Amino acid sequence: MFRFPAAGLFCCFLFFLIAGLAGPARAQADEDAPPPKRELRAFWIASVANIDWPVQRGQSPALYRRDYLKLLDAGQQAGLNAAFVQIRPVSDAFYKSGLEPWSKYLTGQQGKAPAGDDDPLPFLITEAHKRGMEFHAWFNPYRATMDSVTRTLAPSHPLKQHPEWFIKYNGQYLYNPGLPEVRAYIKRVIMDVVRRYDIDAVHFDDYFYPYPEAGKVLPDAAAFRAHNPDSLKLADWRRQNVNALIHDLHDSIRAAKRWVKFGISPFGVWMNKSKAFPEGSDTRAGQPSYANLYADTRLWLQKGWIDYIVPQLYWSTNFKLCPYPVLVDWWVKNRFDRHLYIGHGTYRMLESTRSDTTWRNPRELPRQIRLNRSYGGEVGGSVFFSARSLVKNPLGTTDSLRQDLFRAPALVPTMPWLDAVPPQPVANAVLSRAGRQITLGWESGPPAADGDAATYYALYRFDGDEQPTPNDPRSILALPRPAPGNPGAYIDTTAVPGQAYAYYLTAFDRLHNESRPVRLFTSGKLPVEVVKAGSPAVAAGTPPPIVMAPPVAVTPSEADLVKVKIKQAEDKVKVKAEAKKKRGFFARLFGRK
């Protein structure tokens, strides 16, 4: 047996003693370190086969709206800031479309409209926005049916109108990606939604060419012969077909609405590393997307054809064939300055799988998110599959996220290649303090140089002796989003009497660029204070004058939601209150205890 020399033994003892003492200090430092201010946190809401929503087919609009709100509320409570909602699962629609029939997953019968001719999509978008969540419209581009039964398809279904566009494979009908008219039609469907609805992004999942089945041949030989002007090999031709759709969509979305993002969630492995593909990942995946699905996701990132990618890394840290840490590292190195979000398989915690038992450990998902954050912003966030699994709180993991990693709010990361111009600061900001209640009101500033106005706001609060650090999201008190055209307002009911505070108020545009702050200071020493905001150009720590004023005719017992209308007149403030019993949404979510 090897023996340590006496001196070496002492050094080892000293090393472990120091390490043991440093361990708690490091843990405390990690806990004190601010969480990322910018981080996408989202879930997929799958409608195909009613996986997540609607709960049942054929529900009344009141019921399917109620169930959708339950999902959003659960996501909001968990700290999410985006929802990826499947609105076209099988060449059908969860919205009014002149191109495709109503989805059977919504109404119970394909082509049948909801009761009262309801169009759910504006409601789905508006309610997500009310909760500070982006709405990513999720399309499956090529799938036409989930089975081979065609008699139940609506007469307006494209398969009935243009049967020559489709191929049958593995018991399903699929659009033939090799036909130019198919690509033009798919683009038309998606751009119809982009132009008519207020979505934040177009989102695709991993279904391009179908996953291969042993012994089955994809019947696209005729299209290969007819539409291959470059005389490519079959695999390269198929990739070219998908590339053409992605590139064309990118350009079309940009031309229509420059603020609408385009993102894709592919199978988690582009290619396994080999002599032929030295740039691949050190994995042994069975069906990598480049070779098997003909989806060259790495090229799309290189070319800038997509704004974000969400590889589906549904494997655990210890899964030998495709270890989570190996793949995260590969995607970080191959994201080409586009956003990388990770798709997490939260549903795996509800399975009794024997192939990847690490998912039975409640620490696995938090471990993955901590690993993502260790890349210093290179990984921009997480998307969870799917909404139902997150709501079920598997192994208590959702509670763990809410209480720990997601305990502070997060802002959606910016995309400077789409928009790097911040909005103008807010105008006419006023603070009034009477007793325990501090009321803040403001108006939107003028449009920015690119024409963008403010969409929502962030209100930061700092104690009087605290150094303002707006980069720490734990200082965010609220993220108000007033209705368009309305002034902003917020009541801070958590302020301590006699305590001095500094409030920083910033504006955000549609793509989450943040304005310079305006500052409002309250000393807490006067019975009543009315304070106008300091100019954004004023140095931090220089408080504006405090003006004595009559008490504001609102007390905490009378109202918790106040609408403030400010008229431009020196030292005059008019405050209008509406009685409400409940605290506002953002106060409930972000208010200090």
Residue 67's H or E segment, with its range, is: helix 61-77
- CA-CA distance, 285 to 268, in Å (whole number)? 9
- CA-CA distance, 245 to 233, in Å (whole number)? 19
Structure confidence at residue 32 (pLDDT):
66
CA 430 remoteness from chain centre? 32
263, 249 in Cβ contact below 8 A?
Answer: no
Structure confidence at residue 535 (pLDDT):
55
pLDDT digits (tens, 9 = 90+) for 158-192: 999 999 999 999 999 999 999 999 999 999 999 99
Rounded average pLDDT over 346-371: 95
Structure confidence at residue 2 (pLDDT):
33
* Burial of 542: CB neighbours in 10 Å, binned 0-12, 13-18, 19+: exposed
C-alpha closest to that of 450 among 506, 515, 505, 504: 515
C-alpha closest to that of 94 among 76, 75, 107: 107
pLDDT digits (tens, 9 = 90+) for 263-277: 999 999 999 999 999
Of 491 and 587, the structure prediction assigns the larger pLDDT to 491
Helix axes 324-333, 364-373, angle to 10 degrees: 20
3-state SS class at 163: helix
3-state SS class at 203: strand
* Alpha carbon distances (Å) from 151 to 148, 164, 417: 9, 17, 47
- CA-CA distance, 182 to 165, in Å (whole number)? 6
- CA-CA distance, 328 to 375, in Å (whole number)? 10
Structure confidence at residue 592 (pLDDT):
33
Rounded to 5°, angle at Cα 370 from 365 and 375 = 135
pLDDT reading at 144 higher than 70: yes
Which residue is associated with the tokens 């996220």? 401
Rounded average pLDDT over 423-451: 96
CA 532 remoteness from chain centre? 35
Mean pLDDT of the chain: 88
Token output for 329: 């590292």
C-alpha closest to that of 419 among 309, 300, 510: 510
pTM of the model: 0.87
Q: Residue 260 carries which side chain, given as an amino acid letter?
A: V
Structure confidence at residue 232 (pLDDT):
98
Tell me the backbone φ, ψ of residue 437, rounded to 5 degrees. Answer: -110, 135
Q: Residue 36 carries which side chain, given as an amino acid letter?
A: P
- CA-CA distance, 554 to 437, in Å (whole number)? 9
Greatest CA span in the chain, whole angstroms?
87
pLDDT reading at 5 higher than 50: no
Where does the pLDDT of residue 31 fall: very low under 50, low under 70, confident under 90, or very high at 90 and above?
low
pLDDT digits (tens, 9 = 90+) for 518-571: 999 999 999 899 999 865 543 334 444 333 333 333 333 333 333 333 333 233
pLDDT reading at 582 higher than 60: no
pLDDT digits (tens, 9 = 90+) for 205-236: 999 999 999 999 999 999 999 999 999 999 99
pLDDT digits (tens, 9 = 90+) for 299-325: 999 999 999 999 999 999 999 999 999
Residue 196's H or E segment, with its range, is: helix 180-196
How many contiguous H segments (helices) and E segments (strands) does the chain have? 14, 21
Please list the alpha-helical segments (H only) found in 432-591: 585-590
Percent of the chain with pLDDT over 70: 84
pLDDT reading at 123 higher than 90: yes
pLDDT reading at 295 higher than 60: yes
Where does the pLDDT of residue 435 fall: very low under 50, low under 70, confident under 90, or very high at 90 and above?
confident
